[in-house]
Amino acid sequence: MRTGRALLVTMLFCTAGWSGCGRNDPAVETPAVSVAQETPARNELSDRQKAAIELIGAAGGEMELDADGLPVRIDLASDRVFADETLVGAALEFPDLKGLRLALSSVPDATLAELASLANLGELYLQDAAIDDARLADILRAMPNLRRLTLRRLNGMTDQALDAVVACDQMEVLALIEMNRITGAGLDRLAGCLKLRSLDLRNCGGLSPEDLKRLSAVKVLEEVKFGGPAIHDGLAEVIVGLPKVQSVTVEDAEISPAFVDKLASHAATAERIRTLAFARCYGVTDDALRSLGEFPSLESLSLRDILVTGSFLTGLNHEGSNPLPLKTLIAANAFLNDEAVASLPEVAPNLVRLDLRGNVGLSEGSRQVLQKLKNLKELTLP
């Protein structure tokens, strides 16, 4: 929509990356897009910049543009897009970028070094970069405004690089995904991230729950994400030891009903948790979820590829029980049946968002029952 000479063009890109968690993030929601106010155009695109925008678009990249047509954020890390040297060079044509996502393919070190010219970045996602600790430190040192950083499968990165991360004193959201050379000793360095509120350590093969206990030194964490076969029920002790954490995500882990029971049995922990998300944790069953009634602040529950029938919902629906405070329930690719769905108006009457995709056992009768959820605004059925 044109307003005078102001034009806002927004090409939405992978929201998960701007949240710091990379791909496979559960319960991803698309952000609202604001309309630009009428302002006079300030900058003309150069021919090189016009060519760069065309190249990025042709490659399947996604951009958010400002009123002058200059990219504010560039995403070259979606499922089908990988950035080669030419595409990275195209992104570098825009020195005022605020956000950049790169899943890299055979990009030489000299080109990666030029990322340091993007001094205004607030968000950076790097995947599969052939980069060592020293080069990463050079890049991060040049980005004083960096608040969100995702590093995924950087095989040359070790604990030493975390010193450069800590030096980013505005850092709020950090994701280290599939970073197998990060150790428990490296986590000690994160105590220096004084503003770090969200930390994603999914599938870091060198980290066990015992190592993760070191995170108690990171005082302001509110959100944590863990995953991988090295993660077991001992993770519950880690969560208990993080007194400000309200959101917990666990994926691909070897946890059992004992994990949820441990969280539920610690009153202070159960009271502060507002979000629980599990994906591909096959020890999380209906039995594991029967203690959800002990979480008085739980507003969001996400179950993706979990072996549940929903009997935990019917079990929570008994005389004298309080309804769950849930506003969001995602039970995708599970085995919920009509009986479980029929209990929702009593068990979770305040639901605003409900996602039941992939539950092939549900009938049309479930849709009729869900009409009783008066606050429901977003519904996804199989």
Domain spans of the chain, in order of start: 1-218
pLDDT tens-digit series, residues 48-75: 999 999 999 999 999 999 999 999 999 9
320: pLDDT confidence band, cut at 50, 70 and 90? low
209-268 pLDDT per residue, tens: 999 999 999 999 999 999 999 999 999 999 999 999 999 999 999 999 999 999 999 999
Give the span between the Cα atoms of 5 and 150, in whole angstroms: 36
**Residue 26 identity:** P
The DSSP secondary structure of 359-382, one letter per residue, reads -TT--HHHHHHHTT-TT--EEE--
Q: What angle do CA 142, 150, 127 make, to 5 degrees?
A: 95
pTM of the full predicted structure?
0.87
Tell me which fold the domain 1-218 belongs to. 3.80.10
- Confidence at 297, pLDDT banded by 50, 70, 90: very high
Place of tokens 């499968």: 153
Name the residue among 1, 111, 84, 94 with its Cα closest to residue 53. 94
Number of Cβ within 10 Å of residue 162's Cβ equals: 25
